[in-house]
Amino acid sequence: MKITETVWRLAEPIVAAQGCTIWDVEYVREGADRFLRIYIDKDSGVDIRDCEAVSRAMDPVLDEADPIAESYNFEVCSAGIERVLKRAEDFERFCGSKVLVRLYAPADGAKEFVGELVGFDDGAVTIRAADAERRFEKQQVALVRLYAEF
């Protein structure tokens, strides 16, 4: 089982006890450091107290389970207003929302497209921008995230 799956399984009841849900778990290397991050969400919005409560409750669980052999930094974060969409259920939940699609390589001279999410099919993303639909195949898409206009 992958580290992120193990941590998700360990964190799920703890996060739920704080009135939140897990949005994502990532284990990444940034420079010389490694980070384990749990992104949380709740309908009324996540604040620093939610992150702190989950972090404090997770510390002893991670110490006991010891799912990561090397040294790492542990963070609990809000999923954020411009959260990344990864799973099919993420795309279903936010269908009709404005998203930014970032591509690995330019298409029609651009690597980023903003529009209303209108479809997700086996990894392919369809958006509507300026009354035209545009479909991006799974292998083209580097990232899809919610797009907030201020």
Considering the domain architecture, whether residues 54 and 29 belong to the same structural domain is answered as: yes
13 and 65 both lie in a single domain: yes
Q: Alpha helices of 94-136 — where are they, by DSSP H?
A: none
Whose structure tokens read 């545009």?
Answer: 134
How many Cβ atoms sit within 10 Å of the Cβ of residue 87?
11
- For residue 83, being part of any structural domain is answered with no
| Residue pair 128/84 in contact by the 8 Å Cβ criterion | no
Statement to judge: residues 51 and 113 lie in one domain: no
Q: Please tell me whether residues 63 and 93 are part of one structural domain.
A: no
Task: Choose the final residue of a domain: 57, 78, 99.
Answer: 78
Q: In whole angstroms, give the CA distance from residue 135 to residue 2.
A: 31
Of 108, 85, 112, residue with least CA distance to 96: 85
Is 113 in the same domain as 70? no
Same domain, 10 and 32: yes
From first to last of its 150 residues, the chain has per-residue pLDDT tens of 799 999 999 999 999 999 999 999 999 999 999 999 999 999 999 999 999 999 999 999 999 999 999 999 999 999 999 999 999 999 999 999 999 999 999 999 999 999 999 999 989 999 999 879 999 999 999 999 999 988
Of 78, 102, 125, the residue that ends a domain is 78
How many structural domains are present in the chain? 2
AA identity, residue 70? E
38 lies in which domain range? 3-78
Residues 98 and 125 in one domain: yes
Predicted TM-score (pTM) of this structure = 0.85
Q: DSSP letter for 7, please.
A: H
Which CATH number characterizes residue 109's domain? Answer: 2.30.30.180
The residue among 78, 104, 119 that closes a domain is 78
The answer to whether residue 17 sits within a structural domain is yes
